[in-house]
Chains A and B, each alone.
Chain A
Amino acid sequence: MGDVHEGPRKRIATAHLAQHIGQPVCFVGRVEKIHPNGKLFVLSDGEGKHTTVELSEPLDEEISGVIEVVGRVTNQATIMCMSYVQFREDKSPFDLELYNEAIKIIHEFHEYFPFG
């Protein structure tokens, strides 16, 4: 399987999941809901589209707000999470819509923002 953190993880939004099955990705979204078993949660991206994130071990803490997930896209177009980080919003709210636009730009201008 390999540690995905030692290589590129393409930043994607929900719309790009299908094109990245099996690939290491980085997804930023807002927590919408968390499954009671703690092994699954749903994030919404800057366009409001939902992505399901799965964990191998249940969450050991409450998560909320904007989360950045690193993981691999499963055949079901969910993300198998390897690690996550919460974006700080203590000083300013994070503009997720703007981030989505930035994603589109870095995909379009991929030669100026290479992954790997």
Chain B
Amino acid sequence: GGYTQSPGGFGSPAGTQAEKKQRTRTQNIVPCTVSQLLAAEQVDESFRIRDVEISQVTIVGIVRHAEKAPTNILYKVDDMTAAPMDVRQWVDTDEAGGENVVVPPGTYVKVAGHLRSFQNKKSLVAFKIMPVENMNEFTTHILEIVNAHVVLRRNLMEASRGPQAFPSAGMGDMGSYGGVCSMPLNGLTAHQSQVLNLIKNCPVPEGMSLQELKAQLHSMSMSTIKQAVEFLSSEGHIYSTVDDDHYKSTDAE
């Protein structure tokens, strides 16, 4: 498939770009507090914590209760931010014992799972529950929660402000666009996007020259433009024509 870049670059509605960026977020696994999960709003099939979409999450807390049933183990995990949260771990009934040993109450665990809501009650379906062996991991998790939510919210704010604001820095940005993202394009920085758009819209057969790019992009230095051009070229968005100073877009309009 081709690129999903919106036509005209700068005139496109920010909404779609923000939504696309949002959707890649749900591929990430977000560290959260139980209080955040309880406060998450359900919108159709997904959840949002203050407008940031989440699906897979991690929590770290202490097991207050553990109940083993034939097909699942139900834990109540407490991270002090709210009442303990229900965490369900499905038991592999084919395996005799072994894999699913019940973690005893009083143990600190890290849970990775999916947020669920049933009859207005939230719970987690865990795909991994690991006792915390080094309690410094618990401190790290606390810091990671703040970091993740600050960055996710900042990205969301910037994405909705306009097409130029696509920071490539931020939590796992490269990682989330790496193997996980199913959309081809959405990994360009603001500079790269601007350069690409100008090249795409250039009607001249030999394409756009670096000098012309510099003339149009007043705020960008030549070295920034060259870096963008090099990146776009190596990624296959543009190709050089008459010489190394002239480029056309590979996306034939």
Contacts and interface: CB of A to CB of B under 8 A. Distances in A.
A91 B137 CA distance: 12
B35 A98 contact: no
B104 to A, nearest CB: 12
Given A85-B62, A116-B35, A8 B136 contact: no
A88 B133 contact: yes
How many interface residues does chain B have, given as a range? Answer: 20 to 34
A113 B145 contact: yes
Given A5-B84, A112-B150, A105 B133 contact: no
B155 interface: no
Interface in B34-78: 35-36, 39, 62, 64, 78
A85 B81 contact: no
Given A91-B133, A115-B35, A8 B84 contact: no
A114 B33 contact: yes
Given A92-B134, A95-B136, A115-B35, A109 B150 contact: yes
Contacts of B83: 5-7
A26 B84 CA distance: 14
How many interface residues does chain A have, given as a range? Answer: 20 to 34
Contacts of A62: none
A88 B35 contact: no
Contact of A102 (B80, B84, B143): B143
Contacts of A72: none
A25 to B, nearest CB: 9
B109 to A, nearest CB: 12
Nearest to A24: B80
Nearest to A112: B149
A94 B136 contact: yes
A8 B139 CA distance: 18
Given A66-B135, A112-B149, 20 more contacts: A5-B83, A6-B83, A7-B83, A8-B81, A10-B80, A26-B80, A70-B80, A87-B135, A88-B133, A91-B133, A92-B133, A92-B136, A98-B136, A112-B150, A113-B33, A114-B33, A114-B81, A115-B81, A115-B82, A116-B82
Interface of B: 33, 35-36, 39, 62, 64, 78, 80-84, 106, 108, 133-136, 139, 142-143, 145-146, 149-150, 153
Interface of A: 5-11, 26, 66, 70, 85, 87-89, 91-92, 94-95, 98-99, 102, 105-106, 109, 112-116
